[in-house]
């Protein structure tokens, strides 16, 4: 079968399928029908012949012939049929293959950019890390500078990303329009269906989105580099301030029987010391600030490892605590004497009941913070003061006591080196815990 005959057959097949034809023209009935119009058949044959020979001709001749074909009355019908044939063959197969699932890599990049605040609405992405660092610095200005620097750089990245993205989108749209115009132009001389144009647009978009993916990848890399540099700078160890260390030590030694501050206590301490509670920010696992949790972890281990070395420190803080307590109690006594002329021991069992017996240290702080109520002191206020005075006088000579360990012994530690639930070492707690007193940390 020759080319012309094949096309003729195809033509017939399509028309049989009953498709409507461009330009509202119906194809002639299939061959073999009684009412075949020989003139039309001749027309189609003529057109096909012209098409088949057009490539053999010179450009000028071809242009002239193309013009003639464009004006031919059968052109719309033939164009439509050729489009359908094209659609039914290779393109339909290719089209099915082009249905790509969403690229997981692109999704990851999108998610990351969104999380970093580079794409999507501006939310100061990644600034949680910077904020944590700023907090960890205890308000130090250098970290604030680092923080703003980080944010400024992130904003810069964000701006560049959006500018580039806009450029790509614009270029994509321009190119798409250009290609569509070209195809529309070409569709006057060759069969290009709207579906094919649509498909071509899809291909262009995919190409541009692959370029966008590269942009996203580069942006992610830039953010990661910025991040790592920023974090590395903060990873540098900074010592706690003296004041912070003192506060933490005071808590530690006043809770020596169970030096595990609760979350609330940690927060309280962090506030007092202007440091972060924990390095664990769910989104910033690698962000490390100066932390209460780390401090207590290190302190417990190092204390356990070398108790002897810490005895001096323990006694020192015991004395400090004692002095604080003494002042508090003295103030309380004075207060109770002023406010309550009657004996203040009614209803008391003789214990020194702190407002919240679960946390001696913090309670001490509240004592100093004027929240203490004199009436709570109980019966043995004066004896407590005496005890305190005694302890303080003992503390003054702690150096002699070190050898015999009379001032302090690590009663809180068990044989395995772990903290057991016993009373706090006497010298440490004694200022507020005379005989019969309630343990300062009853939560133990």
Partner DNA sequence: TCCTATGATTGCGC
Partner DNA sequence: GCGCAATCATAGGA
Binding site for DNA (CB under 7 A): 136, 235-240, 245, 260, 263, 278-280, 286-291, 293-295, 297-302, 304, 309, 417-419
Compare residues 64 and 286 and give the one whose CB is closer to DNA: 286
Least gap, CB of 174 to DNA (angstroms): 47
Nearer to DNA, 152 or 286 (CB): 286
Q: How far is the CB of 434 from DNA (least distance, A)?
A: 29
* 191 vs 358, beta carbon nearer DNA: 358
Spatial separation of the C-alpha atoms in residues 426 and 396, rounded to whole Å? 16
- Of 144, 145, 146, 152, the closest CA to residue 124 belongs to 152
Closer Cβ to DNA, 172 or 290, answer by number: 290
Q: Which is nearer to DNA, 36 or 301 (CB)?
A: 301
Between the two ends of the chain, the Cα-to-Cα distance in Å is 100
Residue 318 burial (CB count, 10 A):
29
Q: How far is residue 410 from each of residues 256, 261, 304, 332, 439, measured CA to CA in Å? A: 8, 18, 9, 31, 16
Q: Which is nearer to DNA, 80 or 137 (CB)?
A: 137
State the minimum distance, in angstroms, from the CB of residue 99 to DNA.
40
Least spacing, CB of residue 318 vs DNA, in Å: 18
Which CB atom, from 275 or from 360, has the smaller least distance to DNA? 275
Burial degree of 77 (CB within 10 A; 0-12, 13-18, 19+): buried
What backbone torsions phi and psi does residue 371 show, to the nearest 5 degrees? Answer: -90, -5
Smallest gap from Cβ 291 to DNA, in A, equals: 4
- We find the least distance from the C-beta atom of residue 418 to DNA, in angstroms, to be 6
Minimum distance between the CB of residue 275 and DNA, rounded to whole angstroms?
A: 8
């Amino acid at each position: 079968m020759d080319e012309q005959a094949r096309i003729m057959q195809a033509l017939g097949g399509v028309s049989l399928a009953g498709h409507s034809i461009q330009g509202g023209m119906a194809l002639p009935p299939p061959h073999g029908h009684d009412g075949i119009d020989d003139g039309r058949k001749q027309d189609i044959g003529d057109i096909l012949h012209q098409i088949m020979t057009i490539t053999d001709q010179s450009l000028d001749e071809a242009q002239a012939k193309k013009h003639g074909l464009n004006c031919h009355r059968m052109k719309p019908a033939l164009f439509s049929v050729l489009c359908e044939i094209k659609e039914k063959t290779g393109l339909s197969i290719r089209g099915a293959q082009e249905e790509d699932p969403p690229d997981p890599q692109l999704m990851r990049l999108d998610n990351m950019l969104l999380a970093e605040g580079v794409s999507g609405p501006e939310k100061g992405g990644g600034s949680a890390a910077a904020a944590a660092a700023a907090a960890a610095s205890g308000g130090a200005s250098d970290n604030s500078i680092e923080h703003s620097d980080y944010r400024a750089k992130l904003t810069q990245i964000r701006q560049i990303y959006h500018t580039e993205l806009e450029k790509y989108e614009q270029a994509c749209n321009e190119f798409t329009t250009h290609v569509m115009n070209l195809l529309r132009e070409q569709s006057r001389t060759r069969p290009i269906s709207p579906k094919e144009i649509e498909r071509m647009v899809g291909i262009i978009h995919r190409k541009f989105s692959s370029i966008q993916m590269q942009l996203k990848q580069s942006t992610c890399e830039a953010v990661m580099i910025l991040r790592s540099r920023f974090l590395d700078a903060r990873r540098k160890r900074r010592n706690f301030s003296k004041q912070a260390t003192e506060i933490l030590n005071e808590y530690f030694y006043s809770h020596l029987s169970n030096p595990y501050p609760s979350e609330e206590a940690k927060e309280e301490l962090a506030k007092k010391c202007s440091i972060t509670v924990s390095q664990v920010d769910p989104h910033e696992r690698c962000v490390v600030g100066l932390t209460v949790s780390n401090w207590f972890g290190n302190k417990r281990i190092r204390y356990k490892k070398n108790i002897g070395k810490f005895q001096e420190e323990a006694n020192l803080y015991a004395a400090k605590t004692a002095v604080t307590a003494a002042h508090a109690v003295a103030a309380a006594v004075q207060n109770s004497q002023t406010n309550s002329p009657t004996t203040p021991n009614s209803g008391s069992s003789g214990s020194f009941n702190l407002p919240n017996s679960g946390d001696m240290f913090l309670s001490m702080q509240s004592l100093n913070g004027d929240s203490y109520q004199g009436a709570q002191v109980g019966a043995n206020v004066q004896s407590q003061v005496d005890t305190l005075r005694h302890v303080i006088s003992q503390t003054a000579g702690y150096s002699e006591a070190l050898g015999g360990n009379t001032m302090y012994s690590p009663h809180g530690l068990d044989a395995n080196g772990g903290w057991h639930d016993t009373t706090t070492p006497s010298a440490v707690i004694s200022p507020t815990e005379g005989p019969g007193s309630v343990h300062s940390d009853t939560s133990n």
